Amino acid sequence: MPTWMKMNLSNSASPIMEQLIFFNDYTMITITSITAIVMFMMFTITKNKFSNRILLENQLTETLWTIMPAVSLIFIAIPSLKILYIMEEIINPSITIKAIGHQWYWSYEYSDKSKKTDFESYMISNKETETQMFRLLEVDNRIKIPFLTQTRMIISSSDVIHSWTVPSVGVKMDAVPGRLNQISFTMKKPGLFFGQCSEICGTNHSFMPITLESVNLKNFIEWKKNN
């Protein structure tokens, strides 16, 4: 959950988010190292006023400051492309859920391997929010997903562009009218995970949250039978 003065990313709830956190830390170390080296070089050069007084050309220096940035970009690009490939790969999903964005709520549909289950998910108003609930993040109908199970989300919209986003899972996919986008992920632990629409979609854009509940497979099957 977001807290005051929290500078790091959300705790991971999926392998994708673990990779994103690792890549963020790796990139920050690389950027910090480059910044420190450049600042040291600038401080060293400006400290001596006569070091480059007659310097007109230096092929070695120009070669180095061309090659070093290129090598740095390669070391950043390789893990980035690896994560992009992992996020786009769909590996035999066990469950498929269709999410449709509306102004201003989400609707969901479970339609494979069992009876069809569909429902609408609205934000719970402040008057209805109980003490243990999170303000502006709780909904009346949560999405239930079994953990340690490959899940595919098919995302679309009925009106304008929305974005289905759950930061702890490392999922962010645009919901575009007339188009089906898909993303795959696996929850690694049980719990409640919150997200929001991340595309400005109108007046009540900030009032269409996403609440994802990760449960064990037995509880998920029982929930499916009763809905």
70 and 135 share a domain? no
| Mean pLDDT on 196-210 | 90
Instruction: Identify the band that residue 84 occupies on the pLDDT scale cut at 50, 70 and 90.
Output: confident
Same domain as 100, residue 82? no
Cα gap 139→105, rounded to integer Å? 10
Which of 64, 88, 112 is the last residue in one of the domains?
88
The answer as to whether 3 is a domain residue is no
Tell whether 37 and 117 lie within a shared domain: no
Identify the CATH number of the domain in which residue 124 sits.
Answer: 2.60.40.420
Q: What percent helix, strand, coil does the chain show, rounded to 5?
A: 35, 30, 40
Per the structure, the complete domain to which residue 84 belongs is given by 15-88
Same domain, yes or no, for 143 and 192? yes
Do residues 41 and 127 share a domain?
no
Look up tokens 């209805």; give the residue.
Answer: 128
CA distance from start to end of the chain: 29
What is the structure's pLDDT at 35?
Answer: 92
Q: Which of 70, 88, 106 corresponds to the end of one domain?
A: 88
pTM as predicted: 0.78
Residues 126 and 186 in one domain: yes
Domain boundary among 57, 88, 119: 88
The predicted-structure confidence for 178-195, as pLDDT tens digits, reads as follows 999 999 999 998 988 999
Two structure tokens written together for 95: 């469950």
Structural domain includes residue 7 = no
- Tell me the C-alpha distance between 137 and 130, whole Å: 12
User: Residues 12-51: pLDDT tens digits?
Assistant: 888 889 899 999 999 999 999 999 988 988 887 777 666 6
Structural domain count, the chain: 2
Claim to verify: residue 109 and residue 57 sit in the same structural domain: no
Cα dist. 204→26, 105, 192 in Å?
37, 9, 23
pLDDT reported for residue 36: 94
**Same domain as 147, residue 220:** yes
CATH number of the structural domain spanning residue 21: 1.10.287.90
pLDDT digits (tens, 9 = 90+) for 166-177: 988 989 999 999
User: Looking at the domain assignment, is residue 1 inside a domain?
Assistant: no
Asked whether the CA dihedral 180, 185, 186, 191 is positive or negative, the reply is: negative
User: 125 and 165 share a domain?
Assistant: yes
Q: How many CB atoms lie within 10 A of CB 122?
A: 16
* pLDDT value, residue 32: 93
Is residue 4 situated within a structural domain?
no
When pLDDT is averaged across residues 153-167 and rounded to a whole number, the result is 93
Please give the pLDDT value at position 100: 94
Average pLDDT over residues 133-159: 88
For the chain, the farthest-separated pair of C-alpha atoms sits apart, in whole angstroms, at 83
Residues 178 and 203 in one domain: yes
Q: Which residue did the predictor score with more confidence, 180 or 56?
A: 180
Q: How confident is the model at residue 221 (pLDDT cuts 50, 70, 90)?
A: confident
Q: Same domain for 70 and 107?
A: no
pLDDT digits (tens, 9 = 90+) for 86-144: 888 877 888 889 999 999 999 999 877 667 788 999 998 776 666 667 788 888 889 99
Q: Is residue 104 part of a domain?
A: yes
Q: Tell me the mean pLDDT in the region 73-80.
A: 90
Q: Do 104 and 36 fall within a single domain? A: no
